[in-house]
Amino acid sequence: MPPEDESSPLLPRPSSSLSTPTKRTESTMASSAIFWKVAAISGATAVGFGAFGAHGLKKRIADPAKLASWGTAAQYQLIHSVALLMASGNPVAASLFTAGMTMFSGSIYALTLNPDKFKFLGPVTPIGGVCLIAGWLVLAFGKRGGPPKFPRF
């Protein structure tokens, strides 16, 4: 066996098959980039909806409970937009957060604006809440691969 010198690597070099991205990693990177964009857009709309609720909605709706519901929807959307950014590399958690924000916050927004027209969305709100909870549980008990890998654009 030849003697090792200081330039020899301590770990074996990866074979070319390991260093070439597979379709699965390319697919994961693409979905991560999509979830990243969805999260950023969701965060921006949450801030906009929150501002509208604090300023513009008061001219249209006088009920403090409805205004509080709107604020809750905006708050949950914003918090879960950040969670979606962090979970963008975990497609299951990211999908649950996306579905949960859409159903939970979206149904509250619609019900606040026009409860008669959107009455059918009442049962959607708790389903969205369950999706949000499930997203957190997937993060807690799912496969962990270290810190999130942010997509490159």
Residue 151 pLDDT level (bands cut at 50, 70, 90): low
The string of pLDDT tens digits covering residues 123-148 is: 999 999 999 999 999 999 987 655 56
| Cα–Cα distance, 35 to 42 (Å, whole number) | 10
Q: Looking at the predicted structure, is the pLDDT value of residue 14 above 60? A: no
Residue 72 pLDDT level (bands cut at 50, 70, 90): very high
Domain boundary assignment for the chain: 27-141
Q: Which residue has the higher pLDDT, 58 or 15?
A: 58
Prediction pTM value: 0.78
Alpha helices for the chain (secondary structure H): 16-19, 23-54, 64-86, 91-113, 124-141
DSSP code string of 74-99: HHHHHHHHHHHHHTTT-HHHHHHHHH
